[in-house]
Amino acid sequence: MGLFSPNKNNDSAPAQPAAEPQRVPTPTGGKSAPTPRRKDAEAARRQRINPQLSPKEAKARARQDAAADRRKQTEAIDNVPGRKLMRAYVDTRFNLAEWAMPILMVLLLLTLVVSPAVPVIIEPVTYATWAFMLLVAFDIWRMWRGFKQLAAERIPNEPLKGLLYYGFNRALSLRRLRIPRPVLKRGDSF
């Protein structure tokens, strides 16, 4: 017959049929449950993506998400080289501004509580308040001057915009209340 004929007789082929390999039946476990209807499958998928929460659970989840977002944003802002250097600089030096709030509160109490009983104390307390505020301003000026020199050496191409205010706020807060927490101790080299 022809070359491409489907009914090709080949006389040269052996007359014995080839033995078929034995098939071993494999046990299948079957389905554990019937296939869900499309409506049920879509509802389950929607529930996984956007779960239906009670108002209390939704509020708690929103609060957690907002806190996580704030944490990420704060970390991104605080990891700027200028801020890192300012934190290290403020944390390693003695800051008079750190004691400003407690001392000013004591002076305020002296003015409000003791001065009506002893009016002579008003004038010295007022002068002490102004003197202390001037000392704090001088300390902040010294801190900024020293930081600018340090920043010029270590991070010359970084802008210093906003770092004076950041350093002042950090120096003004008590050491254990600072956020991010101080990593270095007073007097440490960095």
Tens digits of residue pLDDT in 155-172: 999 999 999 999 999 999
| Contact assessment for residue 166 and residue 86, using Cβ atoms and an 8 Å cutoff | yes
**Average confidence (pLDDT) over 114-123:** 86
Residue 131: pLDDT over 60: yes
Of the pLDDT bands very low, low, confident and very high (cuts 50, 70, 90), residue 110 is confident
pLDDT confidence of residue 6: 66
| Contact assessment for residue 155 and residue 81, using Cβ atoms and an 8 Å cutoff | yes
Rounded distance, CA 164 to CA 168, Å?
A: 6
Residue type (1 letter), 16: Q
| Contact assessment for residue 87 and residue 169, using Cβ atoms and an 8 Å cutoff | no
Residue 132: pLDDT over 70: yes
Q: Which two tokens stand for residue 178?
A: 């600072």
Rounded distance, CA 163 to CA 151, Å?
A: 11
Of the pLDDT bands very low, low, confident and very high (cuts 50, 70, 90), residue 17 is low
The region of weakest confidence among 1-10, 49-58, 126-135 is: 1-10
**Average confidence (pLDDT) over 48-65:** 87
Count other Cβ atoms within 10 Å, centred on residue 32: 5
Rounded distance, CA 61 to CA 54, Å?
A: 10
| Contact assessment for residue 101 and residue 172, using Cβ atoms and an 8 Å cutoff | yes
Rounded distance, CA 176 to CA 162, Å?
A: 23
pLDDT confidence of residue 190: 80
**Average confidence (pLDDT) over 117-141:** 93
